[in-house]
A = this chain, B = another copy of it.
């Protein structure tokens, strides 16, 4: 009965449910994946008898968030290793109740050192694997059905939230680029239009025949129009930035 050495603290279900409630409350005012995972591990620690929780986040830049004791650690990830194995092609968790270190896949998870037992839950979205949640124990550990269910609930909630946080990150990035384009544009055109206005002023001081006066009028009209648009643009930009606060 090795597995029963470290039985989960999940003796009182209501207590577990209260902890889930707390978890979702803690997510309310935070916006980053790192903060979300920090709050999540705080609850995992209260709920389940694990020594280590790791969130693998795949994608363009792979990240890995590791929580043992103390602060949450963030690392860059060699994602290829995990992805190539196709270990997580369906949503079922991989469970090693003992001897994880002796398994063939353990070498793919550098972060899970000195681990005897682990639950690895794939975080899938419609594009495929977006990450893995790992809850690990240094000693041999037998996972109860409720322990598995609670871990699965946390993984599912985390997965939905990560999807939306990644989209939010993309929107913020896109937004930043657009604002920088708008700013640069206004600045650049302002310089050209100022130079044009100056050139026109100088030209107007010279002797001009009837034909030339007509052409200068055309030029003048366009410059006035462009200047007006620059002013409008400045107002619009101010408005959008005010909204953004």
As for how many copies of this chain the complex holds, the number is: 2
Is the CB–CB distance between A215 and B202 below 8 Å?
A: yes
Closest to A171 in B: B171
CB distance from A209 to the nearest CB of B (A): 7
CA distance A221 to B195 in the complex (A): 9
Q: Which residues of B contact A203 (CB under 8 A)?
A: 212, 215-216, 219
Question: Bound state CA distance, A153 and B27, in angstroms?
Answer: 12
Q: Report how far A236 CA is from B179 CA in the complex, Å.
A: 12
| Contact A153/B212 with A125-B29, A160-B27, A165-B164 known, Cβ cut-off 8 Å | no
Set B150, B152, B171, B206: member contacting A215, Cβ < 8 A: B206
CA distance A145 to B212 in the complex (A): 89
Shortest Cβ distance from A116 into chain B, in angstroms? 26
> In the complex, what distance in Å separates the CA atom of A189 from the CA atom of B211?
26
Interface hub of A125, A167, A174 (most chain B Cβ within 10 A): A174
Size bracket of the A interface: 35 or more
Supposing A17-B146, A174-B244, A199-B215 touch, asked if A192 and B125 sit within 8 A by C-beta, the answer is: no
Give complex CA distance A113, B128 in Å: 45
A182 to chain B, nearest CB (A): 6
Q: Which of A168-211 contact B (CB under 8 A)?
A: 168, 171-172, 174-175, 177-179, 181-182, 185-186, 188-189, 192-193, 195-196, 198-200, 202-203, 206-209, 211
Query: Chain A interface (Cβ within 8 Å of chain B)?
Result: 13-14, 17-18, 20-21, 23-25, 27-29, 31, 91, 125-126, 145-146, 149-150, 152-153, 156-157, 159-161, 163-165, 167-168, 171-172, 174-175, 177-179, 181-182, 185-186, 188-189, 192-193, 195-196, 198-200, 202-203, 206-209, 211-212, 215-216, 218-219, 221-223, 225-226, 229, 233, 236-237, 240, 243-244
